[in-house]
Amino acid sequence: MTPVVPPLVDRAWLADHRCVLADVRWYLDGRSGRAAYEAGHLPGAVFVDVDTHLATHGPVTDGRHPLPAPEAFAAAMAGLGIGDDDVVVGYDDGGGVIAARLVWMLRATGHPAALLDGGLRPDDELVTQPVRRPPARFTSRPWPPERLAELGDAVHRGNLVLDARDPDRYRGDREPVDPRAGHIPGARNLPARANLTPEGFVLPVADLRARFARVGVQGPDAGARVVSSCGSGVTACHTLLLLEHAGLGVGRLFAGSWSAYSSDTALPVATGDEPG
């Protein structure tokens, strides 16, 4: 029987449960997550690579981090020694906004997983020896269609598109990696990193609910209208986990996100602070 695991856990929970730690560091500026892992990681943690384990690569219209085929994801997890019966706790050094991708993928396919609140801390005792677990059996399961959104869903006015990117990228002040600057017309900005305290912990539930309410998400089933987007479908997963953590229901991931949308020059672009 699959254990019931909350989307977010703290260090006390971690100490009381047997689980597999997953280090999911990745950087938009091109720094190496693997190098960061090798320089020091939590004891027992395996390294999960966003680019190779949690994404595939195809035409630019699919975005920078399309979801891999279910069989490829299963093979990647099995090769890392993550099995069907393992509870996975993912972390990074940015409050979980990157590790959320792994946690969301696992939870969406019925595998128990949680995000470690606060991630790596300055006083953590780290080790440098890479962890290699024996291969495991990880069952391939299709991506559930009710957890995913397509381009048509992202432009449909009946949905509520939440853009998890930092405000300057949402406004179009800068765009370091994608074809055009700006945002999907109608999308509202709810930056993933602004859902964290200055120390990198997730805000209290009451504060999260207030932030979601300001962009139109209120009530236990409100998440059903949410299409979560970001640059390439990574930090958007953090929004989805926090929706669930705050008791606001389950939203959908637009995996291509802005990287896919902005690659189609026929699609309109909005700029500035307003949805447009």
Give residue-wise pLDDT tens across range 152-202.
999 998 999 999 999 999 999 999 999 999 999 999 999 999 999 999 999
- The pLDDT assigned to 155 comes to 94
Is residue 1's pLDDT more than 70?
Answer: no
Residue type, 263: S
pLDDT tier, 220 (very low <50, low <70, confident <90, very high otherwise): confident
Q: At what angle do helices 100-108 and 236-245 cross, to 10 degrees?
A: 60
**How far is 118 from 9, CA to CA, in rounded Å?**
9
pLDDT at 2: 73
Name the E strands within the chain: 8-9, 20-23, 46-47, 88-91, 113-116, 148-149, 160-163, 188-189, 226-229, 252-254
Mean pLDDT, the chain, rounded, equals: 97
Compute how many other C-beta atoms are within 10 angstroms of the C-beta atom of residue 12: 8
Q: What domains, with CATH codes, occur in the chain? A: 8-116 (3.40.250.10), 145-261 (3.40.250.10)
Sheet harboring 88-91: ordered strands across? 8-9, 113-116, 88-91, 20-23, 46-47
Residues 6+ positions from 242 with CB-CB distance below 8 Å = 7, 8, 195, 202, 208
Q: What residues are labeled active site?
A: 230
Burial class (CB in 10 A: 0-12, 13-18, 19+), 121: middle
pLDDT digits (tens, 9 = 90+) for 8-26: 999 999 999 999 999 999 9
- The four Cα atoms 83, 89, 91, 96 give a dihedral, to 10 degrees, of 120
Residue 193 CB burial class (10 angstroms; 0-12, 13-18, ≥19): middle
Residue 41: what pLDDT?
98
Q: What is the pLDDT of residue 157?
A: 85
Q: Percent of the chain scored above 70 by pLDDT?
A: 100
Summarize pLDDT for 99-131 with one digit per residue, the tens. 999 999 999 999 999 999 999 999 999 999 999
pLDDT tens for each residue of 28-71: 999 999 999 999 999 999 999 999 999 999 999 999 999 999 99
pLDDT at residue 88, rounded to an integer? 98
The mean per-residue pLDDT over the stretch 220-246 comes to: 96
Phi and psi, residue 205, nearest 5°:
-55, -40
Task: Count how many residues are written for the chain.
Answer: 276
Beta carbons of 45 and 131 less than 8 angstroms apart: yes
Q: With contact defined as beta carbons under 8 Å apart, do 63 and 54 qualify?
A: no
Tell me how far CA of residue 97 lies from CA of 76, 94, 101, 219, in angstroms. Answer: 21, 6, 8, 24
Could you give the C-alpha distances from 233 to 98, 122, 141, 167, 259, in angstroms and in order? 10, 28, 19, 17, 9
